[in-house]
Structure 1
Amino acid sequence: MSQQTKPLKQPVSVLVVLHDGTGNILLIERADRPNFWQSVTGSIEAGETLAATARREVAEETGIRLAENQLHNWQQSRQYEIYLHWRHRYPPGITQNTEHIFSACIRRDTPVRLSAEHTRYQWLAAAAAADLVFSPSNRQAILDLAQRV
């Protein structure tokens, strides 16, 4: 499906920090932006709950199927300005997105099968992961994870 025929994204998304419970974070690199590393992210779709969006995005982007009890909703959100190069994906005039934060603990030996949206993955210590991600909200979520684990 081409970008022109895809439905426009809603400005409500999830960020899912996948970690191993010992301070390491799984990051994935965007295919459309080399060296743009991130945690799993994605926009809510019509009729979905935030938790369903989080589980769907993790499955789509990494091939990992989370059990309901693995996903932790932080009951926290952040609003940020949508990068100019991605605004065409949203309805006209939309410049802000509200991102809801989740995390999930997975084993490091869990098989990862990346979607075409991403090219590589790596496990990094939280401090290194926070330094590498391009998104300030992703960086803050990684740093905040230490207080939650």
Structure 2
Amino acid sequence: MKSSYKRPESVLVVIYTDQGDVLMLNRTQPKGFWQSVTGSLKWGETPRQAAERELLEETGLHHQGRLQDARHTERFPILPAWRHRFAPSSHYNREHLFYFRLPNRRLIRLNPREHSEMRWLPARQAVRRASSWTNRDAILRLLPG
């Protein structure tokens, strides 16, 4: 189904290092909205394809086979700030979780249309910084016990 509206399905890609640091990105709009890599699936795109595309678009990183599908989804109401992007009949978004593990922190090439700033933070600090509950929960899943 092709549509001028966004598909109410997205990916969340949490990028983390072997040392336990998590990459957090500050959105340009709304300012102060910190998140991991996220993005809507295009019509006809699989969640994995969207995760690979968003990883590259938002960070400049190539997945190189290290993108792990957590086989976990969350469903949440579409926020009023983004309602206009979706069909009037779409009230909820389905988010697919992926993880991308790196041996060490890497230089990141931000997409300036989407993010104004990036920070590598210890996982517990990243949890506190994350603006969405799904992102906080996804980072918490990385922590032991």
TM beyond 0.5: yes
User: Which residue of the partner structure matches residue 81 of structure 1?
Assistant: 77
Q: CA RMSD in A?
A: 1.7
Q: Distance in 2 between matches of 1:28 and 1:17?
A: 11
Write out aligned runs for 1:124-139 (5 A).
124-139=121-136
Write out aligned runs for 1:1-149 (5 A).
7-67=4-64, 69-115=65-111, 116-147=113-144
Give the CA deviation at 1:108: 3.8
Gaps of 5+ in 1: 1-5
User: Cα 1:71–1:37, aligned 2, differ >3 Å: closer, same or farther?
Assistant: same
Q: Distance in 2 between matches of 1:112 and 1:140?
A: 23
Q: Distance in 2 between matches of 1:77 and 1:138?
A: 12
TM-score by length of 1: 0.89
Q: Distance in 1 between matches of 2:4 and 2:105?
A: 35
Q: Distance in 2 between matches of 1:125 and 1:26?
A: 9
Residue by residue, what CA displacement relative to the aligned partner does 1:20-77 show, whole Å, maximum 9, x if unpaired? 122110000000111110000011112221111001001111111111x200001110
Gaps of 5+ in 2: none
| Structure 1 consecutive aligned stretches of length 4 or more whose deviation exceeds 4 Å | none
Determine what percentage of the aligned residue pairs are the same residue: 38
